Amino acid sequence: MKFRYIILHIILFISVTSELAFAQVQRYSYEKGMMGSPFVLTFYAKNDTLAKQAADSTFKRIQQLNDSLSDYRDGSEINKLSATSGTGKWVAVSKDLFNILAVAQDFSQKTDGSFDVTLGPVVQVWRRAVRKGYLPDKNEIKEAMEKTGYRKLLLDPETRRVMLTQKGMRLDIGGLGKGFAADEAIKVMESFGITSALIDAGGKLAITNPPPAAKGWKIKVSSGRDSLGTIELANAGVATSGPTYRYLEFEGKKYSHIVDPKTGIGLQYHVRTTVISPNATDADVLATAFSVTGIRNGRKYLKKYYSASRVWLVETRNGKETSWNTIGQKKP
């Protein structure tokens, strides 16, 4: 029996336009490992001092978000909140934590729970299984599943308080954290007067105005095998999700780190989802959510609630690959 937890190549390549910058701004790029992924800030600024200050402040903000939202960190705000589950108490939380949970809950409601930040207990079971090299058994999953369900997470916007109604619940914002961080990074950039930026938060992109003299930031969306070619984007978010990055392989079957909230099992048919939305948070949530809904239900939700977003989803069922592409460019 072989277990592999594999991190494969990132499938989003960013090529930055080489058009000559206007004389008054220069292009800068800073990279740092954050939230378990490389974060790259690419932007145009007037001078080195401003660029450095903006980059430092942005990384500081992402670090602060990670300190509060990471479920990998003992003592993070989110883990402390999870520890209050089942006590019947309303707990006051930071704006960041409240806002991200509010976004998550909105998407959960609209996608019939396909996206679910209360999956923590099940995600933990799968993480442990990957680490120790076994496939979780049915009872283990069932037990963990009993502690999940987005309806057990209550939010009170008036007082910015949260209640987790059942003991043993655990929140996990892994499905939207990087997109959220990318959007927050853009806000910091803007506070420094930087209006042309591309933040790559581990494959989740937040993009503002185009580089000088360009129509947009040139993004190549590709699986390495299949490509949508180069797309020029401005004021948008892009996210890709899929076991192309990370999965558990057990007896020839691949299980995604994206879990179906109805079964508690890692997706088996999903290949890859790329979403382009008005911002990175939405793109990140939808890339995860549409991976779960699959093509058929995905179409329904896209039409009803997310018509501002575009999707490229590939899935394989019974050895047959099906692709859903609303990004509007023909595959070569």
Q: Compute the least distance from the CB of residue 49 to ligand ADP, in Å.
A: 33
Closest residue to ligand ADP, judged by C-beta, is 174
Q: Compute the least distance from the CB of residue 175 to ligand ADP, in Å.
A: 3
Q: Does 184 bind Mg ion (CB under 5 A)?
A: no
164 binds, among Mg ion, ligand ADP, none (CB under 5 to 8 A by kind): none
115 binds, among ligand ADP, Mg ion, none (CB under 5 to 8 A by kind): ligand ADP
Q: Compute the least distance from the CB of residue 192 to ligand ADP, in Å.
A: 27
Could you tell me whether strands 247-250 and 236-241 are parallel, antiparallel, or unpaired per DSSP bridges?
A: unpaired
User: Which one, of 50, 68, 149, lies nearest residue 108 by Cα?
Assistant: 149
Q: Which of the ranges 14-22, 34-42, 162-170, 173-181 carries the binding residues for Mg ion, by CB under 5 A?
A: 173-181
259 binds, among ligand ADP, Mg ion, none (CB under 5 to 8 A by kind): ligand ADP
Q: Which of the ranges 112-120, 237-245, 305-313, 314-322 carries the binding residues for Mg ion, by CB under 5 A?
A: 237-245
Nearer to ligand ADP, 123 or 162 (CB): 123
Q: Could you give the CA distance from residue 177 to residue 29 in angstroms, rounded to a whole number?
A: 22
Q: Compute the least distance from the CB of residue 231 to ligand ADP, in Å.
A: 20
**Residue 38 burial (CB count, 10 A):** 14
Edge to edge, the sheet with strand 37-45 lists 26-34, 37-45, 197-201, 204-207, 236-241, 270-277, 310-317, 320-325
Residues that bind ligand ADP (CB under 6 A): 115-117, 119, 123, 172, 174-175, 178, 203, 241, 245, 257-259, 261, 284, 287-288, 292
Are 316 and 309 in contact by the 8 Å Cβ rule? The answer is: no
Q: Does 284 bind Mg ion (CB under 5 A)?
A: yes
Tokens representing 117? 């930040």
Q: Is the dihedral of CA 32, 34, 39, 44 positive or negative?
A: negative
Ordered DSSP codes for 276-292? EESSHHHHHHHHHHHHH
Q: Does 298 bind Mg ion (CB under 5 A)?
A: no
Nearer to ligand ADP, 78 or 259 (CB): 259
DSSP at 5: B
The torsion of the CA quartet 236, 296, 12, 258, rounded to 10 degrees, works out to 110
Q: Compute the least distance from the CB of residue 291 to ligand ADP, in Å.
A: 6
Question: Mapping DSSP to helix (H, G, I), strand (E, B) and coil, where does residue 318 land?
Answer: coil
Q: Could you give the CA distance from residue 233 to residue 49 in angstroms, rounded to a whole number?
A: 28
Q: Which of the ranges 92-100, 111-119, 129-137, 281-289 carries the binding residues for Mg ion, by CB under 5 A?
A: 281-289
How remote is the C-alpha of 113 from its chain's centroid?
16
Q: Could you give the CA distance from residue 201 to residue 63 in angstroms, rounded to a whole number?
A: 12
Q: Does 244 bind Mg ion (CB under 5 A)?
A: no
Q: Does 175 bind Mg ion (CB under 5 A)?
A: yes
Nearer to ligand ADP, 28 or 98 (CB): 98
Site for Mg ion, rule CB under 5 A? 175, 241, 284, 287-288
